[in-house]
Amino acid sequence: MKTGATGLGAALRDIRDGLRSRAGRTALSFFAMVVGFASLTTLLAVLGGLEDRSERIVKELGINVAGILSRKTAEKKGEPGLEERHRTVLALNFPDCLFSSVRRFDVPMTGRDDSLTVIATDGDLARVRQWRLVDGRFLDSRDVEDRRRVAVVSRPLSGRWNWKTGDIIELRGALFRIAGIIEAGSEGLEAEMKASAWMFGELVVFVPRTLGSLWLEEWDGPRPPVDAIFMSVPPSRDFGRTVEAGRRLLSQPDMRAGTLSWVLPDALRAGVKELRRTIAWTGGSVSALCLILGGMTLMSLMIANVRDRVAEIGLRRSLGARPRDIASLFFLEGELTAGAAAVAAGLLVHLLILLGGASTPFPLKLGATTALVPLITAVVLAAAFSYGPARAAARITPSEALRYE
């Protein structure tokens, strides 16, 4: 088979020779770039994770859903807070909207390492929050009115403890029959947003709200009667205006609702977006600095390589290499070094995230972006920092090169 100047094998042998001639410096440059690309890959994973979290948070809250939260300290300070009557008032004023009120109790489980979140609520919560029923049914108005000891469990909880519809379970000494299993949509968010009053985590049991005050409060202390009211606005209504009208209604003095927090999808998105922007600037600056340093070590390597291989350049020119053949030799060396560093950094970061990503303080997401962007950056970076040395090598005349030694 005929091969020639463009043969891949010959080009790779040329590059290998170049890199071997300065093994220590090549290794230094390689590792400097690995650091840069690792920081870039990590940054992209964090930004991707935050973007993902933003979408999941909004999905968790529900589309066109607003959460109205009582301040946690309201009752301790003797301030008024949310009550069931506020839900009734809202429902009367916005008859085409759906409302649901909840009280949240964190219940440690005897004999198990886990603790549960028990949500005392009405029969509308699943519809308001747009959760999908996996099996059985959600709570209904009869359960609430008759104070039946029935419970609905989240799918992760059902999976973890092998609970099925119809099973009898014990919660703090009381027996409950499981009426259904629900996809509560909060998987994976528990660790990240544990403190949030509107996000219940993975291990959740829903019970009729009429049971709560008799059964759960004894170990949870005095609090406002309702932790949160959720409001689902139909698509036919303007979401913003409806929320604003609800806000005005509850802020009237005779409502005595106290200071309320309104959780809205746009506000949640904006919060995460702000965090992403902050991380993008700070993390991006660090990555950029690392990459520039890596690029400079690459340039230093290339300059040293050109200087060390002047005689070889002369030999190549005497054998018929054109100036662009010489330039491409050093250019490809730079590209290969940077590309290998990007691949190594990508593999390292992906492996570390897969092994220990769950224990990091930030959500992390791996995907095409974390795989491809560092590679593209490597191509651009190597082009930028190899161009000068490659051009300098191409401009060395054969005679000048052969006289060099």
| Residues within the interface to other proteins (CB under 8 A) | 1-5, 10, 13, 16-17, 20-21, 311-312, 314-323, 325, 397-399, 402-403, 405
Structure tokens, 116: 């549960």
Residue with smaller CB distance to other proteins, 7 or 240: 7
Those residues whose C-beta lies under 8 Å from the C-beta of residue 4, and which sit 6 or more positions away, are: 10
Tokens of 38: 């690792």
Q: Which residues contact 92 (CB under 8 A, 6 or more apart)?
A: none
* Closest alpha carbon to 155 in 139, 132, 174: 132
Cα-trace Rg, the chain: 32
- Tokens describing residue 36: 């840069």
Residues 341 and 378 sit within 8 Å (Cβ to Cβ): yes
- Residue 344 backbone dihedrals phi, psi, to 5 degrees: -60, -45
**Rounded alpha-carbon distances, angstroms, from residue 31 to 23, 45, 335, 372:** 12, 21, 15, 19
Nearest one of 53, 42, 116, 94 to 284, comparing CA atoms = 42
